[in-house]
Structure 1
């Protein structure tokens, strides 16, 4: 089963970590990603740039609208995602708990599926 692990950060809190802690977090994350990739659990992991770099696109009545920034203004922001393979939700949660970013944010674990398989 595939699970999408969304990495959510408190924007103010993650902005205040020291450069040293940021470098350590990145190094620890790379080591953990490599370990999960080797075990066959990690399918994809990507960090996201700051919310200020986002654009939100919508189409209504065949007209496209583009606005700066994220869709909603919230105190937390999506900082990245990890797509994993796990037997079940219990294993997916155990895997997500190994993510070093969990020390600074929250990991939302959600089952993922192909819409082609649902038809």
Structure 2
């Protein structure tokens, strides 16, 4: 089954990261590299990406037939998507186990969500 592991950031978690000594930031990045390598070796990694600054976001809205595109993330959100893993593993327990290896999980900013099979949409 496929699971999307969403990594969220907010100004507080960003400040914590920015305040870490260089060696601790390097250790965090190395943890991501190890996780990528381990999941690739088991065949569970489908994709893993870090996202750029939310200020570079384009928001698309269609209202009353009028399409608009604006800059920046949703103003209402405090946390923003910082990256993700798409994994294919046996069950939710394994997906959660993988998610706990993400450095941001210590700050409570990681979400695991099952991916819907396109067959679920078939009539």
TM-score class normalised by the smaller sequence? 0.7 to 0.9
Structure 2 runs not aligned, ≥5 long: none
Partner of 1:9: 9
Cα deviation 1:69-104 (Å, max 9, x = unaligned): 112432221101110011111111111112233234
Is residue 25–residue 101 contact of structure 1 (8 Å, CA) maintained in 2? no
| Aligned partner of residue 74 in structure 1, secondary structure | coil
- Shift >4 Å, 4+ stretches: none
User: Larger % of strand: which?
Assistant: 1
Query: Aligned with 1:65: secondary structure?
Result: strand
TM-fit CA distance, 1:5: 0.5
Give aligned pairs, total.
119
Query: Aligned partners of 1:90 and 1:42: how far apart in 2?
Result: 16
**TM value normalised by structure 2:** 0.83
Query: Which residue does the alignment assign to 1:28?
Result: 31
Correspondent of 1:113 among 103, 111, 116: 116
Normalising by structure 1, we get a TM-score of: 0.85
Gapped regions of structure 1 (runs ≥ 5): none
Task: Spell out, residue by residue over 1:43-79, the C-alpha distance to the aligned partner (whole angstroms, 9 max, x if none).
Answer: 1000011111111011234321011111243222110
What is the distance in 2 between the residues matched to 1:103 and 1:37? 23
